Amino acid sequence: MSTSDLVHIAVEERLIEQAIADALAPKEAKTTIRKKAYQARYEISRYDQNEFAEERDELQFGPTIITTRRNFFLLHCPAYTTAGDYLDENNDAQPDIIPALERFRDTNDPSEYIRVLRNRAVGADYKTGSIDLINLIRLDGRFSVTNQVVSPCFSATNEDEFVFETLVGVDPNQPEARLLTAKPEQTENILLAGSTVFPPNSWQTLNEDKNIFWDDAAKDFVDHAETALWINLIPDYLVPGDDDVRRQGTVYFQSCAQFSYFQ
């Protein structure tokens, strides 16, 4: 049984457990929705802490797509990333999101992925949308092992469920000497993928905290948070075959007013 199958089984078990817990738990609705502005800083891991050999070129990452949403699992389907959306408008037995993601990965063009995201956002018709979208941001800046990029401000809320998800493209026309520090031997095209549905150091389990920006015990927003960036995760875990997922970087979150490159 593949890693993808094991992840899907774990998600289904988690959904059942959560449904039972939700049914038994007393409901206490938040009377006021609070918001706080954060920024995301993207950093690529060096791992070996060594300088590149002269013949190796630094790999540039970008553009970056950021979505935030109010639902931990997508509506109407047991999926926990936007890549798991089920809609198949052209009835070709493949969800529309998969070829959109493959196009983003193979050409570094996210336009079709963005179109599908907007099409799947919950709007006037709650029955068809799967993504309760809050923010959709495209960031065209590039970053690398020696250069970071910082996102525009986005609003996090104190709602029970708030998910930050990001995908980052890599231009396939970069020199052949480009290097993935997480897997130097890999030459296949990739997307960087990160989501707060996962704990900071794993993609094989789901986060028990459905809103990492809000501290329910302190009744306040957190000062700092982070999530990992993975290669070979999206769209790989949704298509047949083995998945060699490795951590390639980190997204650090901090208040807009307090953000510093040196923290």
The pLDDT tens digits of the residues spanning 153-182 come to: 999 999 999 999 999 999 988 866 567 888
User: Hey, which residues does 131 pair with through a beta bridge?
Assistant: 121
Residue 53: both structure tokens together: 């050999």
34-258 fold: Immunoglobulin-like (2.60.40)
CA 33 to chain CA centroid, Å, is 24
Whether 131 shows a pLDDT value over 70: the answer reads: yes
Per-residue three-class SS string for 76-142: CCCCCCHHHCCCCCCCCCCCCHHHHHHHHHHHCCCHHHHHHHHHHECCCCCCCCCECEEEEEEECCC
Residue 215 to residue 142: CA distance in whole angstroms: 32
What pLDDT shows up at residue 15? Answer: 58
Identify the pLDDT of residue 54.
52
The CA distance from 61 to 145, in Å, is 9
pLDDT confidence bin for 263, thresholds 50/70/90: very low
**Both structure tokens of 183:** 């897997």
Q: State pLDDT tens for residues 173-208.
A: 886 656 788 888 888 899 999 999 999 889 999 999
Residue 69, C-beta contacts closer than 8 angstroms, at least 6 positions apart: 131, 132, 133, 134, 162, 163, 165
Higher pLDDT, 19 or 146: 146
Residue 125 in this model has a pLDDT that exceeds 70: no
Instruction: Please give the share of the chain, as a percent, with pLDDT higher than 90.
Output: 56
pLDDT on residue 19: 54
Whether residue 44 contacts residue 249, with contact meaning beta carbons closer than 8 Å, is answered with: yes
Higher pLDDT: 239 or 110? It is: 110
Strand partners, 136: 67
The residue type found at 249 is G
- The top-scoring range by mean pLDDT among 19-28, 50-59, 176-185, 220-229 is 220-229
Q: What was the pLDDT predicted at 172?
A: 86
Q: What are phi and psi of 42, to 5 degrees?
A: -100, 130
| Confidence at residue 173, expressed as pLDDT on a 0 to 100 scale | 84
pLDDT band at 91 (very low <50, low <70, confident <90, very high): confident
Residue 81 pLDDT grade (very low, low, confident, very high; cuts 50, 70, 90): very high
Range 30-39 average pLDDT: 86
